[in-house]
Amino acid sequence: MKQLQITRPDDWHVHLRDNDMLNHVAPFTAQQFARAIVMPNLQPPVTTVKLAVEYVDRIINAVNNDRFEPLMTLYLTDDTSAEEIILAEKSCFVKALKLYPAGATTNSSAGVTDIRKCDAALAAMEETGLPLLVHGEVTAPEVDVFDREKVFIDQVLMPLMNRFPKLKIVFEHITTADAVEFVLNTGLNIGATITPQHLLLNRNAIFKGGLRPHNYCLPVLKREQHRQALLHAATSGHRKFFLGTDSAPHTRDNKESGCGCAGIFSAHAAIEMYATAFEQQNALDKLEAFASFNGPDFYGLSRNTETVTLERTPWVIPDDYPLASGETLVPMMAGETINWKLIQ
Ligand code: NCD
Ligand code: ZN
């Protein structure tokens, strides 16, 4: 196949950051996707509709592209009130709440310390239909970093679902066969996003020939058997699985450090990397469902009407992108050749 035309995709999980970084990365996302669910883990986090209104304005300025629609999320804290949930639902542009367990990942110190503290907010979400997006990892120091997702399912997600059976939940950036199986065995109110890195890389990529900080993200890459399970889920066409890049830019200095940040920047070639993964599975015919249909269907939004075309033209991903500050941003697959190119 030389060309592939699909309905314009959406990104159901992206970090656009703020200021200089926002100005650099947001146009990449807007160029590929019609809509994107924007994560609220700024410093300080986007915890209220008022802060989200201000942030969405900064995003719209940064992308300068009328075709692109940012969909906003609020950062759930121990103190999020039911009133804030009602305001969010009424706002029409806030589409979800994001649960970060406190300390789980980048800028999550304001995260939830005990999910039971959020009962009032969760009840209001269940009532209004606003989904909860979960970073599905426990942070207890005694839990092995590779087991954090599985333990989260047992200790947090299952009890949460039992207490709020109608709550819509997106299990974000799933990384294990356990998560795939869990999602498949639950009702239609539970969906999951999958990133390009978890489809294309296993945990060996973090250690190939030396320590590779640009392949470090959270949840951390897992064993090959888990990658295979994710590939099967994504390419099955099953409505519960949809595209969420988790593109999470950090400057080169913050990645190549004695304590490097978690996050992989993938917005520069996201749909091309997904196409690469689907092609490896001989499943390019399933890309459109995963990238363009299952997400809006889950969120109860209309599907996009325009299309994009991918062409099988190899190109070399840049080693880095310059930022206005003089710093640089290293993209996923830096310096590597990729076979697909978004041409319009
Ligand atoms: C994200 C970030 O940098 O904001 N990092 C990451 O590794 N994915 C946070 C997150 O989604 O965990
Ligand atoms: Zn994320």
> Which residue reads 């090959």 in tokens?
224
pLDDT at 258 over 80: yes
342 lies in some domain? no
61 lies in some domain? yes
Pick the atom of ligand 1 nearest to 216's CA.
7
122 lies in some domain? yes
What residues have CB less than 8 Å from 319, skipping those under 6 apart? 330, 334, 335
- Degrees, nearest 5: CA angle 86-87-93: 110
Nearest to 221 by CA among 128, 146, 163: 146
Pick the atom of ligand 1 nearest to 41's CA.
4
317 lies in some domain? no
pLDDT value at residue 108: 79
What are 120-147's pLDDT values in tens digits? 999 999 999 999 999 999 999 999 999 9
**Percent of the chain that is helix, strand, coil (3-state, to 5):** 40, 20, 45
DSSP 192-216: EEE-HHHHH--GGGGSTTS--GGG-
Catalytic residue among 246, 253, 285, 297: 246
Q: How many domains does the chain have?
A: 1
The CB-side HSE value for 342 (13 A sphere, CA atoms) comes to 23
User: What tokens were used for 153?
Assistant: 């399912």
Q: How far is CA 153 from CA 60, 100, 107, 174, in A?
A: 36, 14, 22, 11
Query: Strands 169-171, 190-194: parallel, antiparallel or unpaired by DSSP?
Result: parallel
Q: What is the CATH number of the domain that holds 127?
A: 3.20.20.140
Give percent above pLDDT 90 in the chain: 95
15 lies in some domain? yes
- CA-proximal residue: ligand 1, atom 6 (nearest): 263
Domain that holds residue 82: 11-303
246 is catalytic: yes
Average pLDDT value for residue range 298-312: 98
323 lies in some domain? no
pLDDT value at residue 164: 98
140 lies in some domain? yes
pLDDT at 295 over 90: yes
Q: Report if pTM > 0.75.
A: yes
CB-CB contact of 244 with 195 (8 Å)? yes
315 lies in some domain? no
